[in-house]
């Protein structure tokens, strides 16, 4: 009898996992493309980029997908503004990037996303299943607060990578980034961010070209890959690693 109950519990787990995977797939492959197509013509972020491009990049894709991650808090318009800036490399070309357009776009996206999910029975039920309430998606952040962050390259980096922090973990990883005045990686300690993590992988958008990564042991990471929306590092992988998304 105990064995039967164990088998039933295991079968139920895999059925629910398959169903939830299907719902995430529905969001990523059906809901989101239609949503992007609808809003991408509304705003021009910069001369060379549009929202369609921003949504195709891992910083924005990963953030939006976190809506349906039971372990992630809802993002807000500051988080999305920073992710858009990272996605289009706005911090490298501030003279060609309109912070005002980014902020307006982020607020519009959050507002429309909340409305569309509210009208989608599949997604509203899925949020309830993972114990997240759409009413708690309180995305608004004052425009001046966002402007202050987008006007400071180092604040952009700190705000962006803070979402990957897991304060309950003991492992640490250090991210090397550009200095305030240069467009290349600065190896001085003042131009680093250190976050705690659990070594099991990161949400999409953590490993980015233009940044370098080092473990708390002093070992620099050489390669990272992505699978099912999660990103993993493994210094032992060769240059032939499958699904490679970043390499030093």
Q: Are the C-beta atoms of 104 and 146 separated by less than 8 Å?
A: no
Q: Side by side, which strands form the sheet with 192-197?
A: 192-197, 171-176, 212-215
* Strand segments (E) across the chain: 171-176, 192-197, 202-203, 212-215, 223-227, 230-233, 244-247
Q: What's the rounded Cα separation, in Å, for the pair 139 and 106?
A: 9
Among residues 230, 229, 232, the alpha carbon closest in space to that of 221 is found at 232
Q: How far apart are CA 30 and CA 14, in angstroms?
A: 23
Query: Which token pair is 104?
Result: 């307006």
Name the residue with tokens 């980015």.
208
- Segment 161-183 shows an average pLDDT of 89
Using CA atoms in the order 83, 86, 91, 94, what is the torsion angle rounded to 10 degrees? -70
**CA nearest to 133, candidates 124, 142, 141:** 124
- What are 222's two structure tokens? 């050489």
Q: What is the pLDDT of residue 47?
A: 66
The 10s digit of each residue's pLDDT in 43-82 is 767 666 778 889 999 999 999 999 999 888 999 999 999 9
For residues 23 and 123, is the Cβ–Cβ distance under 8 A?
Answer: yes
Instruction: Dump pLDDT digits (tens) for 233-242.
Output: 874 554 445 6
pLDDT value for 109:
94
What pairing do the DSSP bridges indicate for beta strands 202-203 and 230-233? Answer: antiparallel
What distance separates the 2 farthest-apart alpha carbons in the chain?
69
Please write the tens of the pLDDT for every residue from 201-243.
Answer: 889 999 999 999 998 888 888 888 888 788 888 745 544 456 7
Q: What letter would DSSP give residue 221?
A: P
Q: Which two tokens stand for residue 2?
A: 């105990």
Question: Which residue has 């990957």 as its token pair?
Answer: 164
């Amino acid at each position: 009898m105990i064995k039967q109950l164990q088998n039933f519990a295991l079968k139920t787990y895999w059925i629910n996992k398959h169903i939830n995977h299907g719902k995430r797939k529905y969001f990523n492959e059906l809901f989101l493309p239609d949503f992007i197509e609808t809003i991408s013509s509304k705003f021009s972020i910069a001369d060379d980029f549009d929202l369609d491009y921003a949504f195709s990049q891992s910083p924005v894709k990963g953030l939006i997908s976190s809506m349906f991650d039971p372990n992630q808090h809802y993002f807000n318009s500051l988080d999305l503004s920073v992710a858009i800036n990272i996605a289009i490399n706005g911090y490298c070309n501030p003279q060609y990037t309109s912070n005002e357009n980014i902020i307006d776009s982020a607020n519009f996206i959050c507002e429309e996303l909340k409305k569309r999910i509210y009208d989608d029975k599949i997604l509203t039920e899925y949020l309830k299943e993972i114990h997240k309430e759409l009413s708690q998606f309180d995305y608004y952040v004052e425009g001046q607060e966002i402007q202050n962050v987008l006007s400071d390259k180092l604040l952009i980096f700190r705000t962006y990578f803070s979402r990957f922090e897991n304060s309950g973990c003991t492992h640490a990883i250090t991210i090397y980034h550009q200095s305030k005045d240069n467009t290349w990686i600065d190896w001085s300690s003042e131009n680093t961010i250190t976050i705690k993590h659990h070594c099991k992988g990161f949400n999409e958008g953590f490993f980015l070209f233009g940044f370098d990564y080092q473990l708390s042991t002093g070992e620099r990471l050489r390669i990272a890959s992505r699978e099912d929306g999660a990103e993993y590092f493994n210094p032992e992988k060769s240059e032939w690693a499958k699904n490679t998304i970043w390499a030093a």
